[in-house]
């Protein structure tokens, strides 16, 4: 028995497909940053932690990891458009190559904020890797240097992405088939 009702969650991207794409992203990043200097993976918490763990192991160069926590969702299904910095980096990134590791880019407002914020810290470069992107929702203009998957505009859970801090531990990206209803209530 599993902790969720499989009849209520559609698998959008299965675990094997996720892991294969992450290995490909790791190889691309390794090639692009090989011999260029210090690389810092900046994980955007909380949703990106699983992606960061797997991606960092797929990158075959020396690197460091740091974390930022921002919020633009609150408890809703969509970004509020207001970005709050909850927790900042612990180390200086001056002169280093920053690769922002994001789970999903929706409106793009959070990512735009992060890029501009990090550029003020005088890094060698700022690049973006996102596991997921909803292109039809994106309002901000910036480059996603490395992208896992473009997905439709649906609320997704699993592999770090949550609904009220639950379902992060699903090994796949899923869609709630009864969107609008809390999954916890559906599972009872």
Give the helix/strand (H/E) hosting 131: strand 125-133
Which sequence spans correspond to the domains of the chain? 15-153
Backbone angles phi, psi at 100, to 5 degrees: -75, 125
Using CA atoms, how far residue 61 sits from 53, 81, 94, 176, in Å, is 15, 36, 19, 37
Q: Are residues 128 and 141 in contact, defined by beta-carbon separation less than 8 angstroms?
A: no
Alpha helices, DSSP H only, in 47-102? 49-58
The answer to whether residues 120 and 98 touch, using CB atoms and an 8 Å cutoff, is no
pTM of the complete model: 0.88
Answer yes or no: are the C-beta atoms of 119 and 100 closer than 8 Å. Answer: no
Cis ω on the peptide bond leading into residue 46 (within 30° of 0)?
yes
Least confident of 23-27, 60-64, 83-87: 83-87
Query: pLDDT tens for residues 108-159?
Result: 988 999 999 999 999 999 999 999 999 998 888 899 999 999 999 999 999 9
Q: How much is the pLDDT for 85?
A: 87
Q: CB atoms < 10 A from the CB of 33, how many?
A: 19
Q: Which residues have CB under 8 Å from 81's CB, separation 6+?
A: 72, 107, 109
106 counts as catalytic: yes
Lowest mean pLDDT among 23-27, 104-108, 143-147: 104-108
Yes or no: is domain 15-153 CATH 3.40.50.2020?
yes
Q: Is the pLDDT of residue 36 over 90?
A: yes
Catalytic residue among 14, 75, 106, 153: 106
């Amino acid at each position: 028995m599993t902790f969720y009702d499989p009849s209520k969650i559609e698998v959008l991207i299965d675990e094997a497909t996720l892991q294969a794409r992450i290995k490909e992203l790791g190889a691309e990043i390794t090639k692009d940053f090989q011999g260029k200097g210090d690389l810092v993976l900046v994980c955007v918490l909380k949703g990106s932690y699983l992606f960061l763990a797997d991606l960092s192991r797929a990158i075959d160069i020396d690197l460091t990891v740091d974390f930022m926590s921002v919020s633009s969702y609150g408890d809703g299904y969509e970004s509020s458009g207001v970005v709050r910095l909850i927790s900042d980096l612990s180390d200086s990134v001056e002169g280093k190559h920053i690769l922002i590791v994001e789970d999903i880019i929706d409106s793009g407002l959070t990512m735009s904020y992060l890029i501009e914020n990090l550029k003020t810290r005088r890094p060698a470069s700022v690049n973006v890797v996102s596991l997921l992107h909803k292109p039809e929702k994106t309002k901000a203009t910036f480059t996603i240097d490395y992208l896992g998957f473009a997905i439709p505009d649906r609320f997704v859970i699993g592999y770090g992405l949550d609904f009220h801090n639950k379902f992060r531990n699903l090994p796949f990206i899923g869609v709630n088939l009864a969107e609008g209803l809390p999954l916890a209530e559906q599972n009872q």
